[in-house]
Amino acid sequence: MKSLHVDVLIVGAGLSGVGAASRLVQERPDATFAVLESREAMGGTWDLFRYPGIRSDSDMVTFSYPFRPWTRDETLTDGATIREYIADTAREQGIEDRIRYGQRVISASWSSATARWSVRAETDEGLLEHTARFLYVCTGYYSYESGHVVDFPGQETFGGTVIHPQFWPQDFDPTGKRIVVIGSGATAITLIPALAEQGAEHVTMLQRSPTYVLPVPGRDDIGRAVRRVLPERAAYRTVRAWNVVRNVALYEGSRRFPGAVRKGIAALNARGVGRAMVREHFTPRYDPWDQRLCVVPDGDLFRTLRRGDRASVVTDTIETFTPRGIRTSSGRELEADAIVTATGLRIELAGGITFLVDGEPVVPGERFLYKGAMLDGVPNLALCIGYTNNSWTLRADLTSRFVCALLGELRRRGADAVTPRADPGMEEGEMPFSLTSGYVQRAKDLLPKQGLRAPWQARHNYLVDRRLMSVRRLGDPGLEYSVVRRGGDEVVSTSDAPGEEQAQDPGVIEAAAALSAAVAASAAVVAGAELADGPDAETAPS
């Protein structure tokens, strides 16, 4: 293995990293780059997670890369197909040879004297040190090494198998087994129907509290209809725009009119499993999108539960594990041959990399986040942080194009570094992930801070972010461009170059967000009312 000396070093070869490398090939073909991947295969999440039924929880039209449209009919698709899609993209874009596997980045140190990052990576052969002008970290937001592990009372007494979904044993056979799945998030609701279909005798979803579950069509009939009448590219753009607006409307409507959205989701769920089960097991205590909303294609979870003999839901807390299963706080005994602890992820920003600037440690939790992508006071560094309330790829691709534009701006100005600078005394706003989910709350001290206004506040709204991250807004007063002269002296410039458009007034961005929210909320109220006025479903249809 050899040390690398490149213009751009990308960390991570998952969906985000391959997308970032592809954008560099397309928009900055003059830039040299490499991708460092800690694992021995590309794919990131979709290579790591191999539990039964793993699939996307965002529609594939917006989850796919804009430059490589998804044209199949499935609304959601399985993990293996996504893994193949990522690999095919890397091959088509010619970036396979740029990926260096088995290199886990442990630290990155910026030198203002040389305007370079020195990046240290662990390999089987020892440490390697690479250098790069720009560092782009695309490692996702959770730890690959460990999930969130709960120390359940009595767990050591259980005589069966305990599995965390993040590390699913490929030789585990669910056939004929009684399985308890602890949790109610996306992983749990995916596992229930998948394990039942694979031959488990019975699968019990044991949840402490309910989650919002939204059935969606398994096939994209709208997309299929549009593709019949429009050319492929035009059809993709039309369907993608529709899906983006629909998802934004659902989120903004949930924030502005939670009661209407709650009523609409409950009506949809009642059609699948009846009102009694919805009241007992699918009525969360929080508002929609306070935590991530889970989707199920064609209501597969509800179909499985409706059968009754293969799967069930228990809403209770755990008193203790027993040799034969779990005893709940209400005294119920749940016998099990295997227990799956779908208790969530452990957030880890930037893959746990230690950052230094001129020898001083960088603590992300003490820095403000610029445009959801850069850290205050840290030069030539971008973090790829996608959406949690929409398709991850939407924001990941915006960030990658923003990075490409920054690289072009550095070259145009003859600058060596670009650094976000927050105003002294800036007030702190909400966390970057506006969710109350346990995995987010547990990591709130680890995440960067946000301000109260753009560009130091993420809006979680793709329609707003497209303008905020426009390539025409690179002269933002919050960005400092600098040139390193011989001897290490810096010449700093924060003013716009001639002809550059001034950064948009944050008030304009806020007004755009408010308008988007108002329109979206109105649509959500109408949709919620229509769903709630649907046929009574006390008894689920067969």
Question: Would you say residue 119 has pLDDT above 60?
Answer: yes
Tell me the pLDDT of the chain averaged across its residues: 87
Q: Is omega for the bond preceding 455 within 30 degrees of 0, making it cis?
A: yes
Check for a shared fold between 5-144+347-502 and 155-345+519-532. yes
The tokens for 323 are: 């040799």
Mean pLDDT of the 243-249 span: 93
Q: State the DSSP code for 400.
A: H
Higher pLDDT, residue 47 or 459 = 47
> Alpha-carbon distance 521 to 258, whole Å?
9
The strand ranges marked E within 316-403 are: 318-322, 325-328, 333-335, 338-341, 354-357, 360-362, 369-370, 374-375, 381-383
pLDDT of residue 126: 94
Higher pLDDT, residue 531 or 369 = 369
Q: Do the bridges between strand 126-137 and strand 5-11 make them parallel or antiparallel, or are there none, so unpaired?
A: parallel
How many degrees, rounded to 5, is the angle at CA 261 between CA 257 and CA 265?
Answer: 170
pLDDT of residue 491: 58
**Selecting from 3.40.50.9100, 3.30.70.100, 3.50.50.60, 3.40.720.10, what CATH number does the domain 5-144+347-502 have?**
3.50.50.60
Smallest CA-to-CA distance from 203 within 228, 223, 182, 233 is with: 182
Percent of the chain, pLDDT > 90? Answer: 70
**The pTM is what?**
0.88
Phi, psi of 341, rounded to the nearest 5 degrees: -95, 80
Question: Would you say residue 504 has pLDDT above 60?
Answer: no
pLDDT of residue 454: 85
Beta carbons of 22 and 393 less than 8 angstroms apart:
no
Higher pLDDT, residue 469 or 434 = 469
Q: Binning pLDDT at 50, 70 and 90, where does residue 487 land?
A: low
Mean pLDDT of the 481-507 span: 53
Q: Binning pLDDT at 50, 70 and 90, where does residue 174 land?
A: very high
pLDDT of residue 453: 87
pLDDT of residue 434: 62
pLDDT of residue 537: 32
Question: Would you say residue 493 has pLDDT above 90?
Answer: no
> Alpha-carbon distance 243 to 251, whole Å?
12
Q: State the DSSP code for 541.
A: -
- Can you give the residue ranges of every domain in the chain? 5-144+347-502, 155-345+519-532
- How distant is the alpha carbon of residue 284 from its chain centre? 22
> Alpha-carbon distance 418 to 483, whole Å?
9
Q: Place domain 155-345+519-532 in its CATH homologous superfamily.
A: FAD/NAD(P)-binding domain (3.50.50.60)
**Most distant CA atoms of the chain, gap in Å:** 79
pLDDT in tens, 212-233: 999 999 999 988 999 999 998 8
Mean pLDDT of the 291-307 span: 93
pLDDT of residue 467: 86
pLDDT of residue 428: 84
The tokens for 325 are: 């299963």
- C-alpha dihedral sign at 512, 513, 518, 520: positive
pLDDT in tens, 74-111: 999 999 999 999 999 999 999 999 999 999 999 999 99
pLDDT in tens, 252-277: 999 999 999 999 999 999 999 999 99
Question: Would you say residue 71 has pLDDT above 70?
Answer: yes
Lowest mean pLDDT, pick from 221-230, 241-250, 481-490: 481-490
pLDDT of residue 309: 87
Lowest mean pLDDT, pick from 114-123, 203-212, 258-267, 383-392: 383-392
Strands laid side by side in the 325-328 sheet: 318-322, 325-328, 333-335
pLDDT of residue 471: 63
CB atoms within 10 A of CB 340: 29
Q: At which residue do the structure tokens 């944050």 appear?
A: 506
Provide DSSP, 435-458.
---HHHHTTTTTSPB--SSTTSS-
Q: Binning pLDDT at 50, 70 and 90, where does residue 443 land?
A: low
Q: Do the bridges between strand 325-328 and strand 318-322 make them parallel or antiparallel, or are there none, so unpaired?
A: antiparallel
